[in-house]
């Protein structure tokens, strides 16, 4: 028997571009960002409490930390204290902020924060993929135009990543202990032809408990 899930808005407040939904199990709270809206938002479903923290520049991704919420902003990495609202700068962006910014990110099982970038002119694959380990930023030199869809396999041996502009989802062999990427392969390349079979471009992604990769299809209105 098949099961159909109903998708409905989590909040009534409109967003310009809601991204990077992240569930905080201890707080029973959902966090996410509005990139062009320059804000981090949260929702506590049990009490229907909605909160918002304005950012100085566009937030592309967030991660949970003991100290608060790590925010990957256009201008660099910062730590948000959700109680006081204080935003503490941690590092400046390693790129030209006039044409690049941090985009989708995710934490691996060893606690590393992985975050891709987006090359806003979209004229070439000028973006890349970074990891942050104990405050040290490393460029893994993996070109893309719009880095998106970061996710990890249940056995932590594979990293998934999409390039929205090229309509492609990639899979990398992964050494979790050392934080190193191995061979890259194409997991799925979606058609760019705008006809009746067009299902959109791969954007955000995640992996379920059985190891299947799910991605939200921009312009396709589907998962």
pLDDT, tens digit, for every residue of 174-205? 999 999 999 999 999 999 999 999 999 999 99
Burial class (CB in 10 A: 0-12, 13-18, 19+), 136: exposed
**Coil vs helix vs strand at 65:** strand
Structural domains in the chain?
18-191 (2.120.10.30)
pLDDT, tens digit, for every residue of 122-136? 999 999 999 999 999
The conformation of residue 5, written as its DSSP 8-state character, comes to: P
Of 77, 80, 85, the C-alpha closest to 101 is: 77
pLDDT classification of 222: cutoffs 50, 70, 90: confident
CA of 93: how far to CAs of 55, 104, 116, 181, in Å? Answer: 15, 15, 12, 22
- pLDDT attached to residue 1: 47
**Catalytic pick from 34, 104, 163, 203?**
203
Residue 46, both tokens: 């049990």
Question: Is 104 tagged catalytic?
Answer: no
Residue 2, both tokens: 């098949």
Q: Which residues of 151-181 are buried (b: 16+ CB within 10 A; e: fewer)?
A: bbeeeeebbbbbbbbbbbbbbbebeeeebeb
Q: Which residues of 12-21 are buried (b: 16+ CB within 10 A; e: fewer)?
A: eeebeebbbe
pLDDT, tens digit, for every residue of 38-93? 999 999 999 999 999 999 999 999 999 999 999 999 999 999 999 999 999 999 99
Which helix (H) or strand (E) element contains residue 106?
strand 100-107
Global pTM reads 0.94
Burial class (CB in 10 A: 0-12, 13-18, 19+), 150: buried
Look over the chain and give the mean of its residue pLDDT values, rounded to a whole number.
Answer: 96
pLDDT, tens digit, for every residue of 87-121? 999 999 999 999 999 999 999 999 999 999 999 99
């Amino acid at each position: 028997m098949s099961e159909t899930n109903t998708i409905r808005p989590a909040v009534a407040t409109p967003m310009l571009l809601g991204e990077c939904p992240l569930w905080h199990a201890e707080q029973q709270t959902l966090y996410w960002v509005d990139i062009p809206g320059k804000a981090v938002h949260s929702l506590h479903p049990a009490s229907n409490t909605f909160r918002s923290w304005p950012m100085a520049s566009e937030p592309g991704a967030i991660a949970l930390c003991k100290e608060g919420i790590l925010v990957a902003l256009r201008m660099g990495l910062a730590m948000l204290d959700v109680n006081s609202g204080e935003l503490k700068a941690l590092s400046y962006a390693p790129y030209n902020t006039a044409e690049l910014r941090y985009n989708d990110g995710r934490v691996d099982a060893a606690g590393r924060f992985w975050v891709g970038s987006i090359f806003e002119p979209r004229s070439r694959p000028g973006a890349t993929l970074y990891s942050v380990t104990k405050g040290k930023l490393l460029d893994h030199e993996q070109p893309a135009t719009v880095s998106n869809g970061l996710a990890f396999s249940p056995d932590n041996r594979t990293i998934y990543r999409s390039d929205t502009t090229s309509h492609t989802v990639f899979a990398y062999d992964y050494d979790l202990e050392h934080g190193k990427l191995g061979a890259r392969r194409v997991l799925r390349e979606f058609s760019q032809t705008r006809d009746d079979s067009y299902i959109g471009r791969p954007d955000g992604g995640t992996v379920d408990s059985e190891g299947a990769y799910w991605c939200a299809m921009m312009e396709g209105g589907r998962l």
